[in-house]
């Protein structure tokens, strides 16, 4: 596993708590991303989703398919970087609250990309503007590591 850098606090304690659900190799980058966006652009982001269990992912996948609402993901449990703690979703805020009406912009995404993150808003299909991930192998490789039970002492897969 790669070394862990210092995890700096962000402007938001709930975002800090979500960062702590992420894989240890993503935590410092996630906090740096939130802080860099505020420093360089003057916008505060809030992380709403970090690690998700396979069951939580399956529940999201069911939206717009077998349960009400619109489709929010094309990934079933085990098929999302969220399931390995390697992805997070974030939104702009307004008066400290999540502002779902304004998608993440390329200007913000560029900061994430400079830090080595892949932005879901750049995907060719099923654009996912709030989504950022640290791509560490394909999903099939991550699932194989998970199934082989190659995990660290905290339960995160070893990548």
Which tens digits make up the pLDDT trace of 88-137?
999 999 998 999 999 999 999 999 999 999 999 999 988 999 999 999 98
Residue 4 has pLDDT above 70, yes or no: no
Which tens digits make up the pLDDT trace of 5-16?
679 999 999 999
Task: Return the closest-CA partner of residue 87 out of 50, 121, 56.
Answer: 50
Residue 2 has pLDDT above 70, yes or no: no
Question: What count of other Cβ atoms lies within 10 Å of the Cβ of residue 59?
Answer: 13
Q: In the prediction, which pLDDT does 126 show?
A: 84
Q: Is the pTM of this model over 0.85?
A: yes
Domains of the chain, each with CATH number or no CATH? 13-147 (3.30.1380.10)
Q: In the prediction, which pLDDT does 1 show?
A: 39
């Amino acid at each position: 596993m790669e070394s862990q850098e210092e995890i700096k606090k962000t402007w938001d304690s709930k975002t800090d708590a979500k960062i702590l659900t992420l894989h240890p190799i993503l935590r410092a980058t996630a906090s740096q991303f939130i802080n860099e966006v505020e420093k360089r652009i003057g916008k505060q982001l809030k992380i709403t989703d970090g690690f998700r269990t396979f069951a939580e992912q399956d529940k999201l996948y069911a939206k717009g398919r077998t349960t009400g609402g619109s489709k929010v993901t094309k990934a079933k449990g085990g098929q999302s970087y969220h399931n390995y703690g390697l992805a997070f979703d974030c939104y702009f805020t307004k008066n400290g609250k999540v502002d779902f009406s304004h998608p993440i912009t390329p200007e913000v995404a560029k900061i994430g990309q400079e830090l080595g993150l892949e932005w879901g808003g750049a995907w060719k299909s099923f654009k996912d503007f709030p989504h950022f991930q640290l791509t560490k192998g394909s999903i099939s490789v991550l699932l194989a590591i998970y199934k082989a039970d190659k995990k660290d002492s905290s339960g995160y897969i070893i990548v």
